[in-house]
Structure 1
Amino acid sequence: MQEKGILQGNLTKALLRMAVPLFVLNLVNSLYNIIDTFWVGQLGELQVGAVSLVGPIMWCAQSVAMGLSAAAIALLSTRLGANQKGDACRFATALLYFAIGFAIVLSIGTLLLLHPILSWLDTPKEIYDASYQYLLGISFDYIGLLMLNLYMAMRQSAGDSRSGVKLNMCASLLNAILDPIFIFVFHFGILGAAIATVVSKLVMVPVAWRRLHDKAFPVHIDFRAYPFHAADGKIILKLCIPAASGQFLENLGFVIMNKYIVYYGAVAISAYGVGAKMVTLAYIPVMSIGAVLATFVGQNLGAGNTERARKAFHTAMKLSTLFSSTLTIIGMLVITPFIHLFVPNASTQLMELTQEYAFFALLCGVFMGWYINLNDGVFNGSGHTNYTFILSMMRLWAFRIPMILLFHRFTSLGITGIWLAMLLSNIFECILAQAIYLRHRWEYSAILTETERIQPSEDTVKEI
């Protein structure tokens, strides 16, 4: 456990040391998504649209995984910072019960609602069958998704960002290998892409299960020593529900946004899917820094080290701004060749729509870094997932969706109005998040009482 780097020492070096493994994982995952889009693109540009349409539906379900991860990092990092390792293991065991239960419910729910979901989305006829096949296959992905996410969150809470990264990287690399096999060799088409995703994660589940029981690590699972208690479940749900609900509503907002993109045709949703792959690459550094910031905030608040938690946020902001500004400029220069990489025979309409979307999305880079550091890093790390809920909900439902409706009804901007609403909503969201931050309530951990926090020693204070 890299506790010394988290609680003492140079923050820039410590943040980068923990963020680099996550950066590598996110890069590998993004490269896998690029490869996946490449193979699906060989089936036709409309197949890319089918995957893009279904994507936000899966994000809604994945919000449960994000909520559990947020609860895990907040609960476990603050307990470890307060030197309460037994409590950390007890909560880790309870979190695993929740992960298994949620995975079963999500899979059954998705399977039962396949046709209603696609009908509600007004799925174009030309991509309905492909969307159905992909959603059918990916509905079995939840157990692998939740297990691997929870494993990574538990390790990360103790300062080990490498172990979870390695396991998830193996799953992504296996996915990249299986994609062409299931799509073309077995002739499963777009269903093969979904099957490859499911299989690659399931193969890693036994490995994660064994490592979660490793008592040599500060946070481990032990069903005999830590039976489930309703009181622990209430604490987990108190943290998980706001974070998961916020993510769900945010992702549901993306579903609504997709409905408006589909209004401009199947090619429009394909353009959005291709452009999003490139933009995700530009967001990788800020997502990685924001993710590890939660551990720094949680452990330092648990240790009574509020000033260092505050300084960690400031350091993360400087790093995020530097990375996002640089990658925004690079992204602007490579938009066109990137599109040709995905869809070699891209139509003129696809090219133009993708270029326009990517331009606006890349401009969001700095604001996304700001938002992620506050939402995922500071507020989740301190256990104030109620702030996470408010911000996640406001970004889409109070800002973006209303602006999309206004631009659609009262202007002639067309699909450009959607991209403009995306940029403006991120700016407004950052202003709101910063206002919440400046109220300083996050500095009081929502998880530990005053007596449970460790007061910083003189040596620790000098290191701040």
Structure 2
Amino acid sequence: MKTAVNNNNGLMTEGSIFQKILFFSIPLILGNLLQQLYNTADSVMVGNFVGSNALAAVGASSSMIYLLIAFSQGAAVGAGVIVAQYLGAGDKKSVSDAVHTSLVIAGILGIVLTIAGIVLSRQLLEWMKTPEEVMEQAVTYFRLYSAGMFFGIVYNMAAGILNAAGNSKRSLLYLAVASFTNIILDILFIAILDMGVAGAAIATDISQAVSCILSMAFLMRVKDSYQVSLKKLKIHRRIAGSMIRVGLPTGIQNMVISLSNVLVQTSVNGFGAAAMAGYTAYLKVDGFNILPVMSFSMAVTTFAGQNYGAGNYDRVKKGMYVTLAMGFVYTVLTGALLLTFDDQIMGMFSRDAEVITCGKLAMKYFCPFYFILSILHGLSGALRGVGKSIPPMVVLLLSLCVFRIFWIWLVLPHFSTIEGVYLLYPVSWALGAVMIIIYACTAKWLPAGRQQGKVR
């Protein structure tokens, strides 16, 4: 019988639940915010030094880029859950096999998606009805960004491994270095060398390569069960099957939700370049709310996975409640702050009054309702951590994809302004939150009490 590794190794199977989740979440939140900061820096530099059309071009490309990488993010979630469960059970051999399998999968996905992004960029943007005045810049950004996609995908997998092992501080450190690199390169390439959207994409590629190299270098030298050896890189079929079982639903979910976001972006494109630029600018601000929510979700996934692997079932449920409370408090506070300083925030991205108005309008529809999104993702994260990845997938697909598609087809034609697009978001969040609450309250997704045993 395997026993849990003690929590000095970064595990969360003992000690204060609030402190474990909070201290694990903080590096994740700061890391995600740093990543969002350098993405925002791209938009701020492009909007101020290149113009509104260039800012719209970055936005048009970004939604399709997220669609391409969405499946790889699901794969990283699946790998992280499996690694966390084996760590909780103290199964060092399986931890090592899971780590090496996940990195091989990430490498394959990285190569395939890099090629797809470069080859299909123009066709995909045409399908999105990207306006002619921003098309060429959008294609340029898309192709150059795709050239560095491999590094981003491998980094995400490496970060997932570090997070599963409770070493989220490393992810924060490497993202801090990448963010600083990106901001410096943005200034050099855009403000000084006048390279436009090409400079923004190249700066992002280089910064992602830096974080990828640093994280892999650490994994290759760390003295623990999740150490990486190039000689051991191979796909273990049993482990890969477990990762697919957990990660495939999340990957499909991410892809389909990203597809719905592409359709939303297509709807925004119909309102012209100024609306596209305002929407793009706000989405960068939006990340400072959503990414911490996703960090809490990732934290409770790891917490639930480790404690489920150790048989601490009561602790899993308590961790879920703590995560929901943390997400609620954070989103209410930040939503209020964003609304209070909306003029100043949107003014950072553009001097165009129409662009600023579109961005501020998005704030009014998004900011008061982020707490609903925190409930949806907090419960989903806990369920994934115990291996129940299909129910969250179904809920998120129905609410954030199917419902949105029907809204675009049936409701949006009755709106003559962009408010119809913005209203879609809080309504779909609320639908998803109600569905996931009903499942969590009625389904038997967790055994009662405590039972030491093997990972299921």
Q: Say whether the fold is shared (TM-score over 0.5).
A: yes
Q: Equivalent of 1:442, from 406, 423, 445?
A: 445
- Contact kept, 8 Å, 1:378 with 1:442, in 2: the verdict is no
Which residue matches 2:4? none
Q: Equivalent of 2:224, from 201, 217, 236?
A: 217
Distance in 1 of aligned mates of 2:10 and 2:140: 49
Change (3 A) 1:432 1:413: farther
Which residue matches 2:27? 21
Which residue matches 1:370? 375
Q: Equivalent of 1:346, from 348, 352, 360?
A: 352
Distance in 1 of aligned mates of 2:455 and 2:314: 14
Distance in 1 of aligned mates of 2:36 and 2:154: 20
Distance in 2 of aligned mates of 1:121 and 1:363: 29
Q: Which stretch shifts more, 390-399 or 293-302?
A: 390-399
Change (3 A) 1:284 1:70: closer
Name segments (4+ residues, structure 1) moved above 6 Å.
Answer: none
How many angstroms does 1:162 deviate by?
Answer: 0.4
How many angstroms does 1:137 deviate by?
Answer: 0.4
- Contact kept, 8 Å, 1:73 with 1:381, in 2: the verdict is no
Which residue matches 1:130? 137
Which residue matches 1:457? none
Change (3 A) 1:54 1:17: same
How many angstroms does 1:9 deviate by?
Answer: 1.8
Which residue matches 1:38? 44
Distance in 1 of aligned mates of 2:8 and 2:25: 13
SS at match of 2:50: coil
2:178 is the alignment partner of 1:178:
no
How many angstroms does 1:279 deviate by?
Answer: 2.2
2:337 is the alignment partner of 1:337:
no
Distance in 2 of aligned mates of 1:232 and 1:417: 45
- Contact kept, 8 Å, 1:2 with 1:158, in 2: the verdict is no
Change (3 A) 1:204 1:359: same
Give the 5 Å matches for 1:36-435: 36-41=42-47, 42-224=49-231, 227-343=234-350, 345-347=351-353, 349-375=354-380, 377-409=381-413, 411-412=414-415, 414-435=417-438
Distance in 2 of aligned mates of 1:149 and 1:4: 19
Change (3 A) 1:148 1:441: farther
- How many residue pairs get aligned? The number is 447
Distance in 2 of aligned mates of 1:74 and 1:162: 18
- Aligned-residue Cα RMSD (Å) equals 2.1
Distance in 1 of aligned mates of 2:446 and 2:120: 42
Which residue matches 1:458? none
SS at match of 1:304: coil
Distance in 2 of aligned mates of 1:205 and 1:324: 30
Change (3 A) 1:68 1:38: same
How many angstroms does 1:35 deviate by?
Answer: 1.8
How many angstroms does 1:366 deviate by?
Answer: 0.2
Distance in 2 of aligned mates of 1:220 and 1:384: 28
Gaps of 5+ in 2: 1-6
Gaps of 5+ in 1: 455-464
- Contact kept, 8 Å, 1:133 with 1:191, in 2: the verdict is yes
- Contact kept, 8 Å, 1:65 with 1:145, in 2: the verdict is no
How many angstroms does 1:3 deviate by?
Answer: 5.4
Which residue matches 1:460? none
Distance in 2 of aligned mates of 1:110 and 1:285: 28
TM-score, with length taken from structure 1: 0.91
TM-score, with length taken from structure 2: 0.93
How many angstroms does 1:242 deviate by?
Answer: 1.5
How many angstroms does 1:186 deviate by?
Answer: 3.3
Distance in 1 of aligned mates of 2:155 and 2:321: 30
Distance in 2 of aligned mates of 1:199 and 1:226: 25
SS at match of 2:261: helix
Distance in 2 of aligned mates of 1:2 and 1:395: 40
Distance in 1 of aligned mates of 2:264 and 2:296: 27
- Contact kept, 8 Å, 2:103 with 2:158, in 1: the verdict is no
Q: Which stretch shifts more, 305-314 or 225-234?
A: 225-234
Distance in 1 of aligned mates of 2:62 and 2:41: 16
Task: Output the amino acid matched with 1:207.
Answer: L
- Contact kept, 8 Å, 1:5 with 1:11, in 2: the verdict is no
2:446 is the alignment partner of 1:452:
no
How many angstroms does 1:136 deviate by?
Answer: 0.9
Query: What is the identity percentage for the equivalent residue pairs of Structure 1 and Structure 2?
Result: 22
Which residue matches 2:3? none
Task: Output the amino acid matched with 2:276.
Answer: I
How many angstroms does 1:444 deviate by?
Answer: 5.8
Distance in 2 of aligned mates of 1:412 and 1:148: 41
Change (3 A) 1:155 1:2: farther
Distance in 1 of aligned mates of 2:31 and 2:10: 24
